[in-house]
Chain A
């Protein structure tokens, strides 16, 4: 369908409409990444999170005043439907663990790791890479603080593992996740997903 010739914007969106992308976590990375993927024309997004929207989340996450207290998955589904109703959004209000990941994200062509703690990131990547062999994972690591644009990067580890972020800064009391840096990494993840899918048939 592609690669031999260039596609125009409509053809690109039509191509991306054939795919299903998983998003693990609907916080700063996951919510912003989902919005970009919907705008890009992805056919189906499968989003898993167990949290509710808090007022403090509005500093960097893709939620709005009036959505506090809602489940993040439900609030995000609502927001994505306002951006692009053609994108189907499947939500799972669950806490991810090694026993449910491969079932929840079954059929996804690419999966975005957008979880908060480094322990959860490790568990998730290990599980997908061992139980869903061949499915690319796009991880986020190192988003805290502000500035230092030049330290943010995207690396391909191999055919099935990519990482976006600086891989150095840990979120802490004096190094919180600020909106711009989080959004840059979320956009790098979305951009990587599109790159992977544009090579898929």
Chain B
């Protein structure tokens, strides 16, 4: 399937995958982030159960400590 990830086209083998699976495939697991799918924020406790489908627009923002 093809999705848009941070405004870039990205291709994945699976037809659908959970947010957790996508993070593992792309080795994105090491830091905190905000994830939105088609404009809807996905809380961290829903990463394992929320599916990403073909054509979805996925936006990620990385959260680094310091303020």
Chain A residues in the interface with B (C-beta under 8 A): 25, 27-30, 113-119, 121-122, 125-126, 129-130, 139-144, 155, 157-159, 161, 163, 165-171, 177, 182
Contacts and interface: CB of A to CB of B under 8 A. Distances in A.
Contact of B67 (A30, A125, A157, A166): A30
Contacts, number: 90
A177 B32 CA distance: 19
Contacts of B66: 28, 116, 142-144, 169-171, 177, 182
A152 to B, nearest CB: 12
Q: How large is the interface on B (under 10, 10 to 19, 20 to 34, 35 or more residues)?
A: 10 to 19
A18 B15 CA distance: 49
B59 to A, nearest CB: 5
Given A157-B59, A158-B39, A170-B66, 8 more contacts: A28-B67, A118-B65, A125-B41, A140-B67, A158-B36, A158-B59, A161-B36, A171-B66
Interface in B31-56: 31-34, 36, 39, 41, 43-44
